Structure 1
């Protein structure tokens, strides 16, 4: 229990927690940057399909029309979705999942922190103690 308290003491010491906070901020900004640009790229792909379809309706050139038709079909059937090796999508749902998990773990840590006994409290409260006198070997209850 003391080991956990020593590990958690860096949260209370402002001098030592600054590097942790900077590291956390660095990786959080990278995550936000990644999620933003992958979502932006997916939205632009959807907008590209609309633009290609508009050009398809306005062109008179048959060769260009065939190429635009084929490209429009490819855009229709192949949705752009960025994933981490197929495990999870790299979009705003990833960010929401991470925020939810961190919040859950913080609530659990706070509950454990509240459950730890205070060092200022008397730990023998509610426990009856025996008095041993030097001249006798009998144990006596204390007078209350």
Structure 2
């Protein structure tokens, strides 16, 4: 079951990496244009700033939703594995062990030892640490751009 989920996830690896690269570029461009416009233009309009901030907020909410979907799927899959193991323990404690229950034991032990963890081609984990990493990367890149006045 875990291997099947990982195989399905591999189909979306390249798409996930490409979308994160595009997301990074869009966010950097939008924030940099907003900051540069506020600093250099004297007649900067409030409506333009609000629309740009709304657009930037949309990008961050989109990233948070994507990361949350991956994290929630991991948690639910690992919870299902624990439930299968609890079923095995119930039958074992009642003494109702037959050949089918031995197979359930092997399946539950294998699943317990293999936790589901989504990555994008093993470049980065798709969990909440990825969200923090992207915010840090955006901040660092913007500081560099502003310092060099590119």
TM-score (norm 1): 0.59
Q: Which has the higher contact order (CA 8 A, sep 6+)?
A: 2
Deviations 1:87-123 (A, max 9, x none): 221101111101212222344455457xxxxxxxxxx
The answer for unaligned runs of 5 or more in structure 2 is: 1-31
Partner Cα distance (1:64, 1:25) in 2: 52
Q: Does 1:85 align with 2:121?
A: yes
**Shift in Å, 1:46:** 2.7
Tell me which stretches of 4 or more aligned residues in structure 1 moved more than 6 Å: none
| Bigger share in helix | 2
Partner Cα distance (1:96, 1:102) in 2: 10
Residue 42 of structure 1 corresponds to which residue in structure 2?
74
TM-score (norm 2): 0.57
Q: How many residue pairs end up in the alignment?
A: 109
CA RMSD for the aligned pairs?
A: 3.0
**Shift in Å, 1:63:** 4.4
Partner Cα distance (1:105, 1:13) in 2: 26
Is 1:39–1:91's contact at 8 Å kept on the other side of the alignment?
yes
Deviations 1:30-71 (A, max 9, x none): 111111121122223332232222110112252441342232
